[in-house]
Each structure stands twice: as structure tokens, then as C-alpha cells.
Amino acid sequence: NLSLENRTYVIMGVANKRSIAWGIARSLSNAGARLVFTYAGERFEKNVRDLAESLERSDSLVIPCDVTDDEQIKEAFGRIKEEVGVIHGVAHCIAFANVEELKGEYLNTTRDGFLLAHNISSYSLTAVAKEARQLMTEGGSIMTMTYLGGERVVNNYNVMGVAKASLDASMKYLANDLGKDGIRVNAISAGPIRTLAAKGVGDFNSILKDIEERAPLRRTTTTEEVGDTALFLMSDLSRGLTGEMLHIDSGFHILG
Ligand code: 0WD
């Protein structure tokens, strides 16, 4: 069933109340889960603590974890092990690229910008899965957030699209590695949502408008829709699903 009672999930990537990670947190929390939040740096700490305290359960753990630093990832999961022991899943909702490289021609991507986007947006899933596996002794579910721009060209998405393609492939290789431990790995490909990260993408408003006009459901995606799909992925109802990408995008991806 859909209940997550007696289970603990790590939510990575809440920046503010518009974050997709926060939509996921609310859905999992409503299903009875205990949550651990990780945040990128000090400037996010208060936001994340305030949001965590607004949940019905008051036993959330809130800890720092900048995913560019292997030591911080190790320390974060070490603390999670001490405080909660076993975890049942991780929601990886983290991405970053330089804003100057999210417009114009992809060709202008710098080596540093390319590596930065791939480091934070793609490699981090692998680094996190490696630590999480050790705490997922009862099996469970790891999920990440991706976007259509990794499968085909979306104007201005540029280096982030290339990083998402790498993330999507990592998700499959991780699913293959971790399946034998009863750990499933999947991705949600969300339609565009107005968040802090989305603000960096050039001409984001026209992307949203196109969805409203042409997507089968004729509306943009909400963080609640993504959250409820994450709940499915974290629950036993999805026990046969791994290595999969689910498009929660009002059906936009089927259009030519
Ligand atoms: O349209 C959208 N908003 C879509 C987002 C459509 C499809 C997918 N996504 C993806 C994003 O690419 C990302 O992977 O969903 C994920 C979550 O993004 P979001 O909710 O749209 O954006 P936001 O609320 O900004 O959360 C992303 C967070 C960061 O926020 P900032 O504002 O700093 O970019 O990723 C985290 C941080 O909290 N983050 C990091 N966390 C740990 N270590 C790091 C880092 N080094 N860098 C960024």
C-alpha cells in the first residue's frame, strides 16, 4: 500500500517552499514517513529548518550536505546512520549550472561550466547512492529529478540537458548495480515548474506558455503532482519498477 509508516527517507535539494524537493517531502510526510533533509549551504539552513518544522511530524533531521564534497556526503550519511539507522529511500533533487550557459548556443559552454554542471547535477547521484546503499539494508528506492532537455534539444537548456542525459544513464547503471540489494533507482522527468533553479533558464516563461497551449493536459506541472509520483516510487506499489523514467509533464513529451 501507499503508507510509509515506520520508514525514513532522505530528501536532498530543498531550497525554499517552491522547490520540487519540498513537494516530495510533503507527499511522503503525509503518508507517515520520517524525513531527513539535507541542504546545500548555510544560506539555506533556516529555510529548510522552518519548512521541516511546519510538517506534522516534528522529528525531521536537518543536516548540511554540499554534494561537490565527498567528505560532506560521507559525514551526512554517517550522521544519518547514527541518528536514524536504516533508511528506505533517497530523493535526489539537485542540479546546478552557470546562468550564462543556460542561454544562447550550447557551443559556448566552457570546460569549467561543463564540469560544474555534470559534477553537481549528475555525478552527485552516484556519490550519494554509494553512501545511501550502506544504510538501505532493508532495500528501498532511490529517485532523481530529470528533464526532457536530456532526451532532446530544448532551447536554452544547453549544458544542463547534457548533464541530464548523463544523469539518466547513471540512473540506469545504478539500478543495475543496486537491484541485487533490493534497491530500485528511478527518475521523474518533470514538466517545467517555476522554481529558483528554473529562473536561471533563458526564456522560461515561453517554455511554460507552450506547455499550457500544447501539452495533452493543457496545464503546467505542479510540485504536488511530482510529490505524489515520488510517493508511488517510494512505496511498495512500485516494487516491480526500476531503471525507469516517468514523465510527469502533462504528457508534453509525446508531442513531436
Ligand atoms: O522546471 C523545473 N523546475 C524542473 C526541475 C523540471 C525538471 C527537473 N527539474 C529538476 C532540477 O534540474 C533539479 O534536479 O528538479 C531538481 C530540483 O530543482 P528545483 O526544485 O526546480 O529547483 P530548486 O528549488 O532551486 O532546487 C535545486 C537545489 C538548489 O537550489 P539552488 O537554488 O541553489 O540551485 O539543488 C541544490 C540546492 O538546494 N543544490 C545543491 N545541493 C547540494 N550541493 C548543490 C550542491 N552543491 N547545488 C545546488
Three-state DSSP at 143 gives strand
13 lines ligand 1 (CB under 6 A): yes
Ligand 1 centroid, distance to 253 Cα (angstroms):
21
Q: Which residues are the active-site residues?
A: 147, 157
Contact predicate 230/30, CB 8 Å: no
- Which pLDDT score is estimated for 1? 82
* Contacts of residue 82, Cβ cutoff 8 Å, sequence gap at least 6: none
What ipTM is given for this predicted complex?
A: 0.97
Minimum CA distance residue for ligand 1 atom 40:
40
Contact predicate 188/142, CB 8 Å: no
Cell 556519490 belongs to which residue? 127
- Which pLDDT score is estimated for 45? 96
40 lines ligand 1 (CB under 6 A): yes
**In this model, does residue 170 exceed pLDDT 90?**
yes
CA count, 13 A, side-chain hemisphere, 199: 5
Between CA 124 and CA 155 the distance in angstroms is 25
pLDDT digits (tens, 9 = 90+) for 121-136: 999 999 999 999 999 9
Between CA 72 and CA 61 the distance in angstroms is 16
pLDDT digits (tens, 9 = 90+) for 67-104: 999 999 999 999 999 999 999 999 999 999 999 999 99
Taking all residues of the chain, what is their mean pLDDT, rounded to a whole number?
97
Q: How confident is the model at residue 19 (pLDDT cuts 50, 70, 90)?
A: very high
Q: How confident is the model at residue 200 (pLDDT cuts 50, 70, 90)?
A: confident
Backbone angles phi, psi at 84, to 5 degrees: -120, -15
Q: How confident is the model at residue 107 (pLDDT cuts 50, 70, 90)?
A: very high
Ligand 1 centroid, distance to 96 Cα (angstroms):
7
Among 49, 90, 96, residue to substitute to test ligand 1 (most atoms within 8 Å of Cβ): 96
94 lines ligand 1 (CB under 6 A): yes
**In this model, does residue 201 exceed pLDDT 90?**
no
Between CA 138 and CA 11 the distance in angstroms is 18
Q: Which three cell numbers stand for residue 109?
A: 559552454
pLDDT digits (tens, 9 = 90+) for 21-50: 999 999 999 999 999 999 999 999 999 999
Ligand 1 centroid, distance to 13 Cα (angstroms):
6
Query: What domains sit in the chain, N to C, each tagged with a CATH number?
Result: 8-249 (3.40.50.720)
Q: How confident is the model at residue 66 (pLDDT cuts 50, 70, 90)?
A: very high
Between CA 73 and CA 219 the distance in angstroms is 37
